[in-house]
Structure 1
Amino acid sequence: MCNERDVGREQVEQFVREISLISGLSHPRIVEFIGACWTILAELSTVTELMERGDLRDRRGYCLSWESHKADIALHIAEALTYLHGLTPTVIHRDLKAKNVMLNADMEAKLSDFGIARERSAYDGSEHMTVGIGTSFWIAPEVLLGHDYDERADIYSFGVVLSEIDTDDYPYWNAQHPPQGKAQENEILRLVARDTKRPAFSDDCPPAILELAARCLRTDPEERPSAFEIVLYLQQLAQDRHSSASFSSMVRAETAFSGINTSAPAVTAPADTIVNLRSAVQTIQKTQETASSLATVAHAPGKRF
């Protein structure tokens, strides 16, 4: 009885923490919180909006492609992270994976499951998390090594999710590589922490997506793009996709990606083969500023074009 009460108390405390967090979140890419209910402690539940297509892992049997929905889903996830990471204090999801991405009837993706999400400390700017929190194959190297981390740990997890979206399978352990026990799992995590192993991508994954994934999966958090930069990058890809006959064959003109072996678990590509996302962001921002300036001049009194 005591053990059951202890477990119930822990569940209640975690439940209340999650309710406290998600009740304050409001964004089109976050599953909407409606309320909470319970009859007994063992049956605590949250009530959220209906997501008809289920989670990204099962997708209710729908077959997706990069030409149709996959790129949009990746963008939606990045938009959710941009919102969370832009809050004050910053919210770190800490358990980003396909299973925690929900799809509605229109195949729009929304982020869910904030059970272990945390607000980043306002005074030290970092967190410390044990490997037991989160799902191990999605955890960033700095977390595996027991180092302090910030929202860029979510960006690494996003890179792993890109491999899930691409392959329609789990990272590392999947149809080609069945689970082989805790010892093998620990060995995989050791290689990930040492920067000698990364999740695999399919042979037909668009090169531009491979570029993005490689940047997100960098061992050094400083070298990963921000969620906002990812959004701008994927928005640009969407524009390119609409003007291209084949998204799967599209390569960014200014870069060539050759560092990831798409037929086997891959090592992060060398720096000179990775797209410079910050340069891309600056270019987009300058273009937007120029367009805004021209619009202002065009509407100024006495001006004719």
Structure 2
Amino acid sequence: MGKPKSASASASASASWSALFGLGCFSSSHAGHSGDASGSGSGPKNAAKVASSSRPPVPMPMPSPEDLSLSLAGSDVLAFTVEELRVATRDFTMSNFVGEGGFGPVYKGRVDDRVRPGVRQPLAVAVKLLDLEGTQGHKEWLAEVIFLGQLRHPHLVKLIGYCYQDEHRLLVYEFMARGSLEKHLFKKYSASLPWSARLKIAIGAAKGLAFLHEAAKPVIYRDFKTSNILLDSDYTAKLSDFGLAKNGPGEDETHVSTRVMGTQGYAAPEYIMTGHLTTKSDVYSFGVVLLELLTGRKAVDKNRPPREQNLVQWARPCLKDPRRLERVMDRRLNGHYPTRAAQKAAAIAYQCLSVSPKSRPQMCAVVEALESLQALDDGAVEPFVYTAPPENQ
């Protein structure tokens, strides 16, 4: 492959972080990305249409590579050259191609002493190239670098480094061997996840959100969904893709007002209606994902009968009735789950999906409630044998 097209903790470094905000790495308008969540359509194409019909954005200066490097001083994030990442990915060979997202193509790579002399322990990485013609742009790329570069947690995917050279924008992450939760729940070739794995994933993702919400300056993730939850070889869940993340409201504020962005089916109703964003907006999205884990169904599925296309509308009324709950549980579990644990998980999802944000729990309370379910084993749980799909899928 020739030249790449261009590229898809500590919260204490707030001074340099804020300096980058002043340089315009964030605004209330994020053209593209996951799309308009308001229900007028979903996905990147719709987002592009909405963006084109709004007022033209005011040009804002972007930080230089030197500014970015300075803002990350003290972190362990590395600045790579394009040539180093060519070596790491074997010149972006198709045999290392993993997939493509909103940023652009993703390749598996290896950082060793050929890439960086002195590296003692070779590291498997995922390299994202930002496609400048794609649905996400420089601001989203920069948001990813800033948030993941300064926040470290076992349930956030680790940003190893980045490349900001000429027109090239690349991101280098730890390689997540199992891919996305979306793939495991909804791809036909994947083995069905057992109850124990689903609960572990839910707890890990909840811990990641709780960490963001409880940071010294809270972070609202804004695009919590199954495709943004990545799994390592042990099914440890880690949050990825911080292109839409925003700082939470200040001390004297109750919410952040912003243009509605995200993914249809996951966005909280009050956010869709008013553009008011709080950490409770993320809690709602978590409830949708927990519902997907319980039912094995997508948040929005146009291939189902009309009454079943919106998962929350179809399943939420069943969550507090044990007999009705059994009918909406994922059939691929074959009944191999602890009944009481499933009922309690459904009750947690029901509360997270409350129409009133004030009625939704804090994520720290969700973590505690989910962890308590690990001790409930009143149902037969079948041993899990995983059949690995091809490495690059």
TM range (shorter): 0.5 to 0.7
Once the two structures are superposed, the pairs formed by residues 81-120 of structure 1 within 5 Å of their partners are: 81-120=209-248
Runs of 5+ consecutive residues of structure 2 not aligned to the other structure: 1-58, 60-130, 317-324, 330-341, 383-393
**Residue aligning to 1:28:** 154
1:203 and 2:324 aligned: no
1:15 and 2:141 aligned: yes
Give CA deviations for 1:106-146 in whole Å, capped at 9, x if unaligned: 11111111010011132424112333x10021000110111
**Residue aligning to 1:126:** 255
Runs of 5+ consecutive residues of structure 1 not aligned to the other structure: 1-5, 179-184, 249-305
RMSD: 3.0
Maintained 8 Å contact 1:140/1:156: yes
SS at match of 2:354: coil
1:247 is displaced (CA, Å) by: 6.9
When normalised by structure 2's length, the TM-score is 0.52
When normalised by structure 1's length, the TM-score is 0.66
Which has the bigger relative contact order, CA under 8 A and spacing at least 6? 2
Q: Which amino acid aligns with 2:142?
A: V
Maintained 8 Å contact 1:95/1:117: yes
**Identity over the aligned pairs, expressed in percent?**
30
Aligned pair partner of 2:169 in 19, 44, 68: 44
Moved more, 168-177 or 216-225: 168-177
Maintained 8 Å contact 1:160/1:217: yes
What CA distance in whole angstroms lies between the structure 1 residues aligned with 2:169 and 2:138?
Answer: 8
What CA distance in whole angstroms lies between the structure 1 residues aligned with 2:286 and 2:241?
Answer: 15
Maintained 8 Å contact 2:220/2:248: yes
Aligned pair partner of 1:57 in 182, 188, 191: 182
What CA distance in whole angstroms lies between the structure 1 residues aligned with 2:201 and 2:143?
Answer: 28
SS at match of 2:142: helix
Q: 1:246 to 1:64 in 2, by over 3 A?
A: same
Maintained 8 Å contact 1:171/1:199: no
What CA distance in whole angstroms lies between the structure 2 residues aligned with 1:46 and 1:230?
Answer: 31
What CA distance in whole angstroms lies between the structure 2 residues aligned with 1:98 and 1:234?
Answer: 18
Once the two structures are superposed, the pairs formed by residues 70-81 of structure 1 within 5 Å of their partners are: 70-81=198-209
1:15 is displaced (CA, Å) by: 1.6
SS at match of 1:102: strand
Moved more, 143-152 or 82-91: 143-152
Give the aligned length.
226
1:175 is displaced (CA, Å) by: 4.6
1:165 is displaced (CA, Å) by: 1.5
Structure with higher strand content: 2
SS at match of 2:300: coil
Aligned pair partner of 1:226 in 358, 362, 376: 362
1:174 is displaced (CA, Å) by: 5.3
SS at match of 1:136: coil
What CA distance in whole angstroms lies between the structure 1 residues aligned with 2:258 and 2:380?
Answer: 42
1:235 is displaced (CA, Å) by: 1.0
Q: 1:246 to 1:113 in 2, by over 3 A?
A: same
1:44 is displaced (CA, Å) by: 2.1
SS at match of 2:276: coil
What CA distance in whole angstroms lies between the structure 1 residues aligned with 2:170 and 2:327?
Answer: 41
What CA distance in whole angstroms lies between the structure 2 residues aligned with 1:177 and 1:115?
Answer: 33
Maintained 8 Å contact 2:180/2:228: yes
**Residue aligning to 1:267:** none
Q: 1:234 to 1:173 in 2, by over 3 A?
A: same
Maintained 8 Å contact 1:160/1:199: no
Q: 1:210 to 1:174 in 2, by over 3 A?
A: farther
Maintained 8 Å contact 1:85/1:92: yes
**Residue aligning to 1:162:** 290
